[in-house]
Amino acid sequence: MHSDPIRRRPGLALLALAGLSGLVLSACSSAPAAVKKADPPTTTSTTAKPPPPACPLTGLPVPGGAAVPARPALAVKVDNYPSARPQSGLDKADVIYEEPVEGGITRYAAVFQCQDAASVGPVRSARNIDIGILGQLGNPLLAHVGGIPPVLANIDASPIVNVDLGENGSIITHPAGRYAPYDTYSSTAQMWGTHPTMTTPPQPLFGYSATPPAGTPVASVNINFSSTSNVTWTYNPTTSQFERFYNGTTPDTLADGTQNAAANVVVQYVHISYGPWLENSEGGLEVQADLYPDASGQAQVFRNGVEITGTWQRSALGSPTQFLTAAGTPITLQPGQTWVELVPDTIATAVTP
């Protein structure tokens, strides 16, 4: 027979029961204990700080964390003939359009809004194609030096504000070592200063995302406009930028030694025609581009080392150009500077995987 490991003693059990009864009676005769109310739960504010203001034409935070500058977009016509290089100020532009002009050369419409440049140039004459490029920016300023009469008349009849440096000689500078016609420069502050009451920033042209969309990895893209503008953009994974070269190996550098580079390179294939006006004494005809209304074409977007192929479309002069994937969804750009290459649809780019 197994013994119980805990022996219970009857006498002690009766005494314990009696003591317990006394405690119960004593508790019944005393006043009930006050019930303490629970403290209300503490709340911690989790409201996130609003993101800093973003530049409308780059998607980047405004330098210094300030508000978006109260001024319109400023487009400056900058020459790109070999004799005009190296240029100044292009690295401070938000968007740069490279446009074909007469003779197979190209010219820039460098668009500034969020940043200032102490010197931009060399500034040259306007072209009719500038109206189609810049109309999507609302009422931008267009700084240039002259142009043929029908082009200037069309600019004056458009929403674009004509800033002819030839009529504003006080804001022109002529840097040492530069010679006509490649010696006309100005600062963005002086050019904006010609219309100080214009304070409305432009609407964004592109959608931005820090996350790269799906695309095909690329090392470079070559755009052979002509013998004077054989452009190659080569991706640098260290900086997440496409760097610009001429003839494959010669860096495209500015006067201060900075190499032109872009977060995004957008190739927009456009239908080009010529005339009806002579643009120069050599018989070069004015280049016209089919950019609106209800215009469309093929497009390639290069960002973060990948290529996204798709299309572009634009309904009206004042409407932004939409860049869409093959599935019809908008292509987002990397926040930063964008170069838009307006490539005649008779030219094919060469992409290196």
What is the Cα–Cα distance from 97 to 81, expressed in whole angstroms? Answer: 15
DSSP helix/strand/coil, 209:
coil
Beta bridge partners of 299: 268, 310
Token readout for 44 is 């911690």
Give the model's pLDDT for residue 52: 74
Give the model's pLDDT for residue 43: 52
Domains (range + CATH), the chain: 63-352 (3.50.90.10)
Q: What is the dihedral of CA 288, 91, 349, 279, to 10 degrees?
A: 20
Counting Cβ atoms within 10 Å, is residue 289 exposed (0-12), middle (13-18) or buried (19+)? buried
Query: From first to last of its 353 residues, what are the pLDDT tens digits of the chain?
Result: 443 343 333 333 332 333 333 333 333 344 444 445 555 555 555 567 777 789 999 999 998 888 999 999 999 999 999 999 999 999 999 999 999 999 889 999 999 999 999 999 999 999 999 999 999 999 999 999 999 999 999 999 999 999 999 999 999 999 999 999 999 999 999 999 999 999 999 999 999 999 988 999 999 999 999 999 999 999 999 999 999 999 999 999 999 999 999 999 999 999 999 999 989 878 889 999 999 999 999 999 999 999 999 999 999 999 999 999 999 999 999 999 999 999 999 999 999 99
∠289-310-242 over CA atoms, to 5°? 85
Length of the chain: 353
Long-range CB pairs of 288-296, under 8 A, 24+ apart, other chains included:
288/128, 288/129, 289/99, 289/100, 289/129, 289/132, 289/342, 291/129, 291/132, 291/133, 291/321, 292/132, 292/135, 292/316, 292/317, 292/319, 293/317, 295/270, 295/271
Give the model's pLDDT for residue 66: 87
Strand pairing category for 161-164 and 141-144: parallel
Instruction: Find, among 145, 110, 143, 149, the residue nearest to 128 by Cα.
Output: 149
Contact between residue 162 and residue 142 where contact means Cβ atoms under 8 Å apart: yes
Give the model's pLDDT for residue 272: 96
Phi, psi at 279, each rounded to 5°:
-95, -25
Give the model's pLDDT for residue 228: 94
∠78-113-322 over CA atoms, to 5°? 85
DSSP helix/strand/coil, 349:
coil
CA–CA distances in Å: residue 246 to residues 29, 47, 220 = 102, 50, 12
pTM: 0.85
Q: What is the dihedral of CA 65, 331, 134, 141, to 10 degrees?
A: 0
Instruction: Find, among 117, 56, 58, 78, the residue nearest to 338 by Cα.
Output: 58
What is the Cα–Cα distance from 338 to 56, expressed in whole angstroms? Answer: 12
Give the model's pLDDT for residue 289: 96
DSSP helix/strand/coil, 307:
strand
Which single residue is written with the structure tokens 């649809």? 345
